[in-house]
Amino acid sequence: MQATGEIEKTSKAPLVSMRILAILVVAVPLLIYGFLGAFRYLESTAAAERRVSRSLRVAQEHASKVLGGAEALHERLGDLLGGKTVEELRAAEPSLHALLATRTKDQPQIQSIWVIGADGKPIATSLVSPPPALEYSDREYFRRHKAGGAGRFLSLPFKSRSTGESIVDLSTRFDGPGGAFGGVINVSLRTSYFERFYEDLVNDEPGLAVNLFHQAGPIYVRWPVLPGAPDRLSPSSPTLQRVAAGDDIGQTRGVSSVDGQFRIISFQRVGAYPLFVGTGMNITALRNEVLRELAVLLLLGVPPFAAIYFAARASLRHAQEAYESAQRLTRETATRRKAEEALLQAQKLEALGRLTGGVAHDFNNALMVVSNNAYLLARSASGAASSQVKSIQRAVDSATKLTRQLLAFSRRQALVPETVDLADKLPASRSLLAPVLGTQVQLHVEVAPGTRPITVDMAELELALLNLAINSRDAMPDGGTFTVTARNTEDVPPKLAGRAVVAIEAADTGEGIEPAVLDKVFEPFFTTKPVGQGTGLGLSQVYGLCERAGGIATVRSEKGLGTTVTLFFPAAEGAAGGTNERPEAAMGALGKRVLVVEDNDQVAGSLMPLLDALGCQATRVDRASTAREWLAAQPKLPDLVLTDVVMPGEMDGLALAAHLKKSMPGLPVLLMTGYAERLDEIAAMGFEVLPKPCSAEILAAAIARVAQSST
């Protein structure tokens, strides 16, 4: 009987287990479904709060920068106008108008600038010269400044008399002789500028609403625009109640008095002005979105749950076999994974480099087409069309810089040294360095006034600063300060003695470096970091950058007191050239016969008319082998061969250049590429290589230089 009971118990065990499993198959998904619904709602709400706060920071910083720019105009104009009589200022009206018009150029947020005398009549304006005969002594801001009101005055929005635009005035007084009231400087800002910015912000954040409002309630700008919506916040508005209570920043929930929606609302004062930025996310829309997700999940989940329930009846029988098979598979997989892991790690970097390089190559070809055609359009464009062409050129420059940054680390792009104004370029590196340093490390970037420009590849310089920032971050695990400064210096290494030198210092407050290893930090593959946390190549790349730019790098450090790496560069001659401004170079006709070897029809289609515009007689072939045959058949060789590096067929551009160097040593060759794995080989062979895209000025200079070198 006992044996029979044991057998029965054993036979019933799978059935009991199966029933328990069937119950769990239903109960567990239902519990998970309930927890998932609650979690998704809480997570969506928390994400909305983060999105609202993030959008608020962006909108508040934008408003602060716009008002800060107007304040800077006040300061500069106040220094210029202060102490002068009305008569002197009216006599200088033409020059004042020109100055004011210049100040508004490329400043879409500024509608106009007015200088109003102590008598309430305009002295000068950015709009017209001479200014119209208007009277401003009855304006609120004029009366306030004339009565001695300190600080700046921000008006409520109103319609411009001259253009009908909605504008806001930001005004301040300036002093006349002896400190007496000299008049008012008034900067009119377009509310449409804020509206366009908020529209872009809302497009990136569905469900978001942004407004700019006065602390008393009037609304300056709101997006999205709601027909028939009130033009001011209600006193019962949750935001306005918090503002009235003295809060300069905060987040709340409540019903918006503008659109009646229940929202998560964040607000923040703009500087010291009675001006606030508010952002809000519709909670009702978030709740409905979560409910829709759960409904879809339920519909999709019921059939699988039922199938799993019935499949559980048969699964126990095969469980043991599956377990044993899984164990064998696990052991085999572990053995195979060990063999594959090393190969996979090596393939990752190679694949990433090739993928990035391949994409950049095609992208640079496309950019070259745009750049060349933009140059050709600029030669004939005028007025608004000229401005639009320049905008295209600036966008091409920006995209070119992006692809060069993508390729900089793997050294898969041709170097493009340029004359860099550090006061303009170095502060922009904040956006590159800050994410790497993290929130625990404070970042400071300072450029001393009068710092001279340097000649350097900007992508390489940014990569060097990035490497230094990574090292400093790792040396400050508990946080600290990372400071980048640039200045002219006379304390230079012997290598640069007798030359004008610019120093860029990167200093941290980290752990410092042991004196015993300080002399080795620039050696390749030397690192003080644990295994797996550093390659030892970062500082060697920094040193290589300085060497290529004709300078040198030094390091000083004390254990526990931080490290300072100083990059010394020879100062450049002349003014800095940027990619954002393209003054039309005064280029004469080159008068060269050029053979163009380019397989890409679109690139060739833009390059040929460009060469024609530069005064060259150009012939194009699409293969290196075709170029070799064409040259062999010519009774008189061209002045120059301009060839792409990467081309299909048995011979690429570099192979063609090597062939011509041997067979036609007097024929100069100029290479072009948007991506090159063989830069060192090209340099060793003595060929000059241009990046794709490059400006017409750079192309013309290179053609003239290479052609001249052969004569």
Residue 347 lies in a domain: yes
Q: Which residue has the tokens 């916040």?
A: 233
Among residues 522, 545, 570, the one where a domain terminates is 570
pLDDT for the residue numbered 67: 94
Residue 322 lies in a domain: no
CATH for 500: 3.30.565.10
Do 86 and 148 fall within a single domain? yes
What is the average pLDDT score of the chain? 80
Do 179 and 118 fall within a single domain? yes
Do 566 and 592 fall within a single domain? no
Residue 500 lies in a domain: yes
Return all residues near 622 (Cβ < 8 A) that are at least 6 apart: 597, 598, 599, 601, 604
| pLDDT tens digits, one per residue of 50-82 | 888 999 999 999 999 999 999 999 999 999 998
Backbone phi, psi, residue 57, to 5°: -60, -40
Residue 661 lies in a domain: yes
Return all residues near 49 (Cβ < 8 A) that are at least 6 apart: 251, 264, 281
pLDDT for the residue numbered 710: 63
pLDDT for the residue numbered 376: 75
**Domain range spanning residue 617?**
332-383+585-711
Do 63 and 211 fall within a single domain? yes
| pLDDT tens digits, one per residue of 18-36 | 567 666 666 777 777 677 7
Do 436 and 459 fall within a single domain? yes
183 is written with which tokens?
């008049």
Return all residues near 492 (Cβ < 8 A) that are at least 6 apart: 499, 501, 503, 568
pLDDT for the residue numbered 342: 39
Residue 136 lies in a domain: yes
pLDDT for the residue numbered 152: 92
CATH for 679: 3.40.50.2300
3-class state of residue 132 by DSSP: coil
Is 60 exceeded by the pLDDT of residue 343?
no
Which is higher by pLDDT, 463 or 648?
A: 648
- pLDDT grade for 329, boundaries at 50, 70 and 90: confident
Do 59 and 190 fall within a single domain? yes
Mean pLDDT of 518-541: 55
pLDDT for the residue numbered 9: 45
pLDDT for the residue numbered 453: 93
pLDDT for the residue numbered 4: 41
Enumerate the β-bridge partners of residue 571: 454
Residue 34 lies in a domain: no
pLDDT for the residue numbered 173: 93
3-class state of residue 588 by DSSP: coil
| pLDDT tens digits, one per residue of 396-421 | 776 766 666 566 545 555 566 778 89
Give the whole-angstrom CA distance, residue 189 versus residue 157: 9
Mean pLDDT of 653-676: 87
Number of domains, the chain = 3
Do 367 and 267 fall within a single domain? no
Mean pLDDT of 348-361: 60
Do 441 and 502 fall within a single domain? yes
Q: Give DSSP secondary structure letters for 427-463.
A: GGGHHHHHHHH-TTEEEEEEE-TTPPPEEE-HHHHHH
Among residues 506, 535, 570, the one where a domain terminates is 570
Is 50 exceeded by the pLDDT of residue 255?
yes
- Low-confidence winner among 437-451, 502-516, 564-578 (lowest mean pLDDT): 564-578
Q: Sort strands 219-223 and 208-214 into parallel, antiparallel or unpaired.
A: antiparallel
Task: Measure CA of the first residue to CA of the last residue in the chain; give whole Å.
Answer: 114
Length of the chain: 711
Among residues 518, 545, 570, the one where a domain terminates is 570
Do 540 and 608 fall within a single domain? no
3-class state of residue 482 by DSSP: strand
How much is the pTM? Answer: 0.41
In sequence order, which ranges of 381-421 are alpha helices (DSSP H)? 384-408
CATH for 114: 3.30.450.20
How many C-beta neighbours within 10 Å does residue 622 have?
A: 17
Do 163 and 279 fall within a single domain? yes
pLDDT for the residue numbered 113: 94
Do 144 and 239 fall within a single domain? yes
pLDDT for the residue numbered 526: 46
440 is written with which tokens?
């625990």
- pLDDT grade for 269, boundaries at 50, 70 and 90: very high
Is 60 exceeded by the pLDDT of residue 583?
no
Is 80 exceeded by the pLDDT of residue 550?
yes
Do 84 and 233 fall within a single domain? yes
Share of the chain above pLDDT 70, in %: 78
pLDDT for the residue numbered 581: 41
590 is written with which tokens?
């080159």
pLDDT for the residue numbered 249: 93
Residue 460 lies in a domain: yes
Residue 152 lies in a domain: yes
